[in-house]
Structure 1
Amino acid sequence: MTAKASFDFTGANVLVIGASRAGIGAAIARAFQNAGAAVEITGVEPECIEEDAARFDYTQLDVTDTNEVYDFASTRDHIDVLVNCAAVTQRGKEMAPEFFSHVLDVNLTGSFRCAEALHPALSGAKGRVINVASMYARFGSPRNPAYGASKAGVEQLTKSLAIAWAKDGIRVNAIAPGFVVTEQSARAREDSIFTTAIEDRTPLARWGHPEDIAGTALFLASDAAAFVTGACVIVDGGYSVV
């Protein structure tokens, strides 16, 4: 049996926050563009990766800078889909209070800043917001406590915004990826014992790839999910059900 899912986002304006590096944000941006959308991306780096530089309009954006975020949002008046994917983590170094606060500021408050600043543009379009959480929203993480706390907050924020903005016709959902091969996970993947343990526990017996997350983003933004809001969809190869 073969089955191919296809989505048509022709005419849609899509903004992916946090897509400058090779990872989930970039994969989601490419998937929306391949489905016909006009896609803009942001990142904290001065430039995005070379392979995406010719594909997307790119803006350097610090999601921890409230004025910068609102200035950016003030020039966008119609957003059909907002994807909040900006995130930082540093395995084994998140017990330091200052860094803990920084992780929450980027991952959680940064997602809120962008969503709230772009609320008028989303409201006018009756748009969709997709926040990227993590399976660490539901698991303890002794070496990534800030990341886990921030992503749990993202899941709760998703529920609250879904209720608050339903009257505006905006749907707000989240995706909780499992272990995915990205630049951000590179350091963790240097530990062969750790990577093997993940593969052994995961029913699908592998790490995910950024493209494995993109399809769920397309679904949540599509009319196929017209009655879905406030949800957090786990995409982890079955890791969380073992």
Structure 2
Amino acid sequence: MTRNPSSDKSQALKAKGIEVVQGDMSDGQSIRTALTGCERAFLVTDYQAKGVEGETESGNLFVDQAAAVGVKHLVFSSVGNADTHTGVPHFESKFLIEQHLRTSTIPSWTILRPAAFMENFPPAGGMQRMMTLGLFDAALQGKSLKLCSVIDIGWFAAQALEKPGEWNGRIMELAGDDITVAGMKAAYEKVEGGKPWEVPIPQLALGAMLPKEMYLMFTWFREGGYVADIGACRSIHPGMLTFEEWVRVKHHDD
């Protein structure tokens, strides 16, 4: 379901034989129309479009419409540690959607809780990657961060959608690596053959540089952190990507 079925991404999906349906996550009727006839659904929400309150409202609306049209199994991609009172607003908003799903009339559900996305780190060199590495280096101060690729989120979501009986009621924290910024730079260098650069950023500057939402998240990365059990994830999906493997995949794709 997309707001713009004529976009390049939508057209790429159509080329793969996927039916693309126009819809708006804030419009209950369009969600209902898109879900009519579906037995299983995958829900991903976005706080950046309409803020955390809008994210909760649209996620809950999707759950309600899915229940109304008889969806039998819903997979929700939430966020790692959603239930641990992180103080990060867009983590808390996803937990509210989790709670709404669990108390809904949808008979079967799965909740995936991925750690930070590997896709936050540009695979190719350039100013964007230099800034990203600098920001994470300043925020983490040498601490490691658990990461998960959206490729692997898709793998787990597909398993849950294809085998709802096995995945009903399961909540799975997801991570494929636990790595420092120094480790990320070593992975880039190993794959690319050259030392990656970063823009040095003082930790004290983060509060002025980042929106409050992002500053709270970066602070939590350093002072808290994800609890995903990488070994448990790999016991289900042995091919789950490390950061270095993800960089190799992205370079191959490009």
Q: Normalising TM by the smaller chain, what interval?
A: 0.5 to 0.7
Distance 1:45 1:77, change over 3 A: closer
Which moves more between the two structures, 131-140 or 42-51?
Answer: 42-51
2:132 aligns with 191
Which of 32, 37, 61 lines up with 1:73 in the alignment? Answer: 32
Aligned-residue offset at 1:155 = 2.3
Distance 1:199 1:121, change over 3 A: farther
1:157 aligned onto 2:100? yes
The CA distance in 2 between the partners of 1:103 and 1:240, in whole Å, is 23
Residue 148 of structure 2 aligns to a residue whose secondary structure is coil
Which of 104, 109, 117 lines up with 1:172 in the alignment? Answer: 109
Distance 1:241 1:77, change over 3 A: closer
Distance 1:176 1:76, change over 3 A: closer
More helix by share: 2
1:51 aligned onto 2:12? yes
The CA distance in 2 between the partners of 1:189 and 1:60, in whole Å, is 37
1:61 aligns with 23
Amino acid at match of 2:162: S
1:82 aligned onto 2:41? yes
- Deviation string for 1:7-27 (max 9, x for gaps)? xxxxxxxxxxxxxxxxxxxxx
Amino acid at match of 2:13: D
The CA distance in 1 between the partners of 2:81 and 2:8, in whole Å, is 27
Amino acid at match of 1:88: Y
Distance 1:48 1:150, change over 3 A: farther
Residue 13 of structure 2 aligns to a residue whose secondary structure is helix
Which of 79, 90, 94 lines up with 1:147 in the alignment? Answer: 90
Contact conserved, 2:39 with 2:73, CA < 8 A, in 1? yes
1:235 aligned onto 2:194? no
The CA distance in 2 between the partners of 1:64 and 1:76, in whole Å, is 14
Residue 61 of structure 1 aligns to a residue whose secondary structure is coil
**Aligned residues, how many?**
172
Aligned-residue offset at 1:79 = 0.7
Amino acid at match of 2:132: D
The CA distance in 1 between the partners of 2:113 and 2:30, in whole Å, is 29
Amino acid at match of 1:73: R
2:65 aligns with 117
The CA distance in 2 between the partners of 1:70 and 1:147, in whole Å, is 25
Contact conserved, 1:158 with 1:230, CA < 8 A, in 2? no
Q: 5+ residue gaps in structure 1?
A: 1-40, 91-98
Mapping 1:29-44, distance limit 5 Å: 41-43=1-3
2:161 aligns with 221
Aligned-residue offset at 1:211 = 0.7
1:130 aligned onto 2:75? yes
Question: Bigger radius of gyration, 1 or 2?
Answer: 2
Contact conserved, 1:81 with 1:129, CA < 8 A, in 2? yes
Contact conserved, 1:136 with 1:151, CA < 8 A, in 2? no
Q: Indicate the percent of aligned positions where both proteins have the same amino acid.
A: 10
The CA distance in 1 between the partners of 2:67 and 2:33, in whole Å, is 10
Aligned-residue offset at 1:215 = 1.6
Scaled by the length of structure 2, the TM-score of the pair is 0.54
Residue 137 of structure 1 aligns to a residue whose secondary structure is coil
- Deviation string for 1:84-108 (max 9, x for gaps)? 1131339xxxxxxxx6xx3222x32
Aligned-residue offset at 1:64 = 1.8
